[in-house]
Amino acid sequence: MEIKVNFLENLRLEAKFDDFTVTADQPIRYKGDGSAPSPFDYFLASSALCAAYFVKVYCKARDIPTEDIRLSQNNIVDPENRYNQIFQIQVELPDDISEKDRAGILRSIDRCTVKKVVQTEPEFKIETVENLDEDASIMAMGISEDVSNTMILGKDLPLEKTIANMTGMLESLGMKIEISSWRNIVPNVWSLHIRDAASPMCFTNGKGASKESALCSALGEFIERASCNFFYNDQYFGEEIANSDFVHYPNEKWFVLTENDSLPTGLMDDYCLDIYNPDGELQGSNLIDTNSGNFERGICTIPYVRQSDKQEVYFPSNLLENLFLSNGMSAGNNIHEAKVQCLSEIFERAVKRQIIEEEIVLPDVPEEVLAKYPGIQAGIAGLEEQGFPVLVKDASLGGQFPVMCVTLMNPRTGGVFASFGAHPSLEVALERSLTELLQGRSFEGLNDVPAPTFSSEAVSEPNNFVEHFIDSTGVISWRFFSAKSEYEFSEWDFSGTNEEESDSLMGILEALGKEVYVATFDDFGASACRILVPGYSEVYPVEDLIWDNTNKAIHFREDILNLHRLDDEELADLIARLDESEEDNYTEIKTLIGIEFDENTVWGQLTILELKILIHLALQQYEDAMELVASFLQYNDNTVERGLFYQAMNAVLEILLDDELELDDFIYNLRRMFGEEVMENVVGSVNGDVKFYGLTPTSTKLEGLDKHLRLIESYKKLHAARAARAAN
């Protein structure tokens, strides 16, 4: 994690990371102002807090109350060497906690990350650089330079060469990539999390049988998502980019909206229109892209090549961002390698969906077949030793598809996690199933997986597949665990060269009667592509284009960002449109309008419900406000401070709306109950002196929205690279 430090007045310092700012100072006796803890105080506190965190995680997983658990830490300093210290952590446990859990809590404290890092004696590298924002020396941290020729199945270059190539591409874009975490909790299963240090919203996860293959996976995913603009899905690019020569890609094509809002001629082809507009309800305005929101330019489309006849077909970028998420994106050492990954991913998701929704019972993989892959066996054994039974299944549906499945059961919680993987090689598909299972997860994280169900409606409900797609935490059927499989085991093999594998996988789709559309992206020097299989590779239902389109943001974004500038008539119109939209009141505003607010601010936690309350207060519509305040208090998961504000607001509104009560009669005790500051803001909100309490003014210029601006600056690097490439 990159932490940037600013030098403030006297000895005060300011550290900025993610959405947080931490201020440090020195005691007055050391010529500081004593306004904040010292850096070393923060270090000491981090150890105690980390220990307490692991206690909390342990207890939460076992429904053990923590109200009566107390923890403290003392640092005992060697009088002859002040750098030699003992950190003594003591925990006081209630009598009703069993001996087993007492031992478990102590083991959990022993796993404290701060403690383990200190015990490992971290190395400090101190150097000067020309530019902090451009230096990317930490990217390949932890990867040995001694080995230079590690080949794995599916890759046409050694891992080290692949990592070097991708690292160079990202450096050339001005991306400073940092590795924020590694995990290796069972043998031969590695995962890591990487992100853009300047814009942490741009992140990917990688997985593999080694740390090199996991890093290669994460970097490849980063490049594919940058190439396909996935990091910026649903986000507003701002006025500058919305009006630039191109918004997404130099070869994009814009279709002007028709007078009757019908779909413009030349948009997609008949095959796609039958899928995406079966009843003729889809309108042109449904396909305005969220990123630009530019109605005047019309519909932004990206050319894809139809594989059956190599003709270009123009797909609205809006349709891509609404239906496909990241499905079918990849980057590789060459275009064939990338296509194999894309197609494998598409089969993985489509077959997984079919198996889950149809409650198909899969055959077990015989032990003699598993024995051919000792590394995979060791990983499975590691899970079994931790008390997690594992099932290894053939998900090829009788050898039709290159898909495998590894399913973990958690006897502690009754939860089940079915992980699928696909590749023309059975070994690679099986390895991907296992590594996907533990990607970014600790053993504690496996306590969150849901229990199976006998409800067919629950497993076939569209959102269940979305949950499976996002993090594999959707539910599966108990029928999945029957011993009577519906298919015979097949030791399938679709492997060959990457070109042969790509052709083979394309052949499966052709046999299914599917049209395939491919777009390639080489603007950054990478071989990246995106593959669409309409009617097969979508993640969200097609109906979302009409009923739950992300470009609904366009109808609210400008007014919400200009909230403080709206007059009463415009505020009344905004709240009327919010009501008419029937959007869920608990939808976050940042999701509704595609703006990344700092989550530690009121804007960052603002919901439609709270926005409506604030508008009703600004309009002095007290009855409407009080009705919504009651809902807010009933289901509030906002901050304690915000909850207190609305508790006080509820009391004040009750008084104002009761003809027999006077606020002046209660104000003294209300101030004693909620404090002077809260009551000043509550009373100010009802009498008009305070408008939109807690919301700092902003506009479509995005001033003050640092988190979103960091995201846009990240996109501008890609935009500039594409413009330069197109100019040459």
SS3 489: coil
Averaged pLDDT of the chain: 93
Q: How confident is the model at residue 445 (pLDDT cuts 50, 70, 90)?
A: confident
- The secondary structure element, H or E, covering residue 13 is strand 13-17
Pairing of strands 329-332, 81-92: unpaired
What's the predicted TM-score (pTM) here? Answer: 0.88
More confident site: 18 or 562: 562
Above 60 in pLDDT, residue 141?
A: no
Q: What are phi and psi of 393, to 5 degrees?
A: -120, 150
Above 90 in pLDDT, residue 143?
A: no
Rounded CA separation 92/73 (Å): 12
Strand partners, 183: 191
Cβ neighbors of 218 (< 8 A, separation 6 or more) are 192, 193, 194, 204, 205, 206
* SS3 assignment for 412-473: CCCEEEEEEEECCCHHHHHHHHHHHHCCCCCCHHHHHCCCCECCHHHHHCHHHHHHHHHHCC
Tokens of 440: 């970014």
Rounded CA separation 51/40 (Å): 17
Above 70 in pLDDT, residue 137?
A: no
pLDDT for 80 equals: 85
Tokens of 499: 């070109």
SS3 530: strand
pLDDT for 102 equals: 95
Above 80 in pLDDT, residue 148?
A: no
481-493 average pLDDT score? 96
- Cβ-based burial of 144 (10 A; exposed 0-12, middle 13-18, buried ≥19): exposed
Above 60 in pLDDT, residue 446?
A: yes
Asked if residue 531 lies in contact with residue 332, where contact means CB atoms within 8 angstroms, the answer is no
Q: How confident is the model at residue 469 (pLDDT cuts 50, 70, 90)?
A: confident
Q: What is the pLDDT of residues 243-258, one digit of tens each?
A: 999 999 999 999 999 9
pLDDT for 443 equals: 84
Above 60 in pLDDT, residue 604?
A: yes
Indicate the range of 7-11, 399-403, 491-495 predicted with least confidence. 7-11
Above 70 in pLDDT, residue 458?
A: yes
Asked if residue 283 lies in contact with residue 214, where contact means CB atoms within 8 angstroms, the answer is no
Cα–Cα nearest to 547, from 581, 575, 573, 576: 581
What count of other Cβ atoms lies within 10 Å of the Cβ of residue 225? 20
Percentage with pLDDT > 90 across the chain: 80
Between the CA atoms of 540, 542, 547 and 552, what dihedral angle is there, to the nearest 10 degrees?
70
Above 60 in pLDDT, residue 379?
A: yes
pLDDT for 440 equals: 85
pLDDT for 145 equals: 52
Asked if residue 551 lies in contact with residue 289, where contact means CB atoms within 8 angstroms, the answer is yes
pLDDT for 376 equals: 96
Q: What is the pLDDT of residues 581-597, one digit of tens each?
A: 999 999 999 999 999 99
**b/e per residue, 427-444, with b = 16+ CB within 10 A?**
bbbbbbbbbbbbbebebe
Rounded CA separation 222/206 (Å): 9
SS3 585: coil
Q: What is the pLDDT of residues 79-100, one digit of tens each?
A: 888 889 999 999 999 999 999 9
Above 70 in pLDDT, residue 206?
A: yes
pLDDT for 569 equals: 97
Rounded CA separation 531/551 (Å): 23
Rounded CA separation 716/183 (Å): 32
Above 90 in pLDDT, residue 190?
A: yes
- Cβ-based burial of 484 (10 A; exposed 0-12, middle 13-18, buried ≥19): exposed
Helices (H) and strands (E) in the chain, counts: 26, 17
Above 90 in pLDDT, residue 147?
A: no
Q: Any alpha helices (H) in 657-675, and if so which ranges? A: 667-674
Q: How far is CA 375 from the centre of its chain?
A: 30
320-324 average pLDDT score? 97
What count of other Cβ atoms lies within 10 Å of the Cβ of residue 413? 15
More confident site: 272 or 523: 272
pLDDT for 70 equals: 95
Above 80 in pLDDT, residue 133?
A: no
Amino acid letter for position 256: V
Asked if residue 188 lies in contact with residue 379, where contact means CB atoms within 8 angstroms, the answer is yes
pLDDT for 624 equals: 97
Q: What is the pLDDT of residues 360-369, one digit of tens each?
A: 999 999 999 9
Above 80 in pLDDT, residue 1?
A: no
pLDDT for 408 equals: 95
pLDDT for 600 equals: 86
Rounded CA separation 74/113 (Å): 18
Q: What is the pLDDT of residues 390-444, one digit of tens each?
A: 999 999 999 999 999 999 999 989 999 999 999 999 999 999 999 999 998 888 7
Amino acid letter for position 5: V
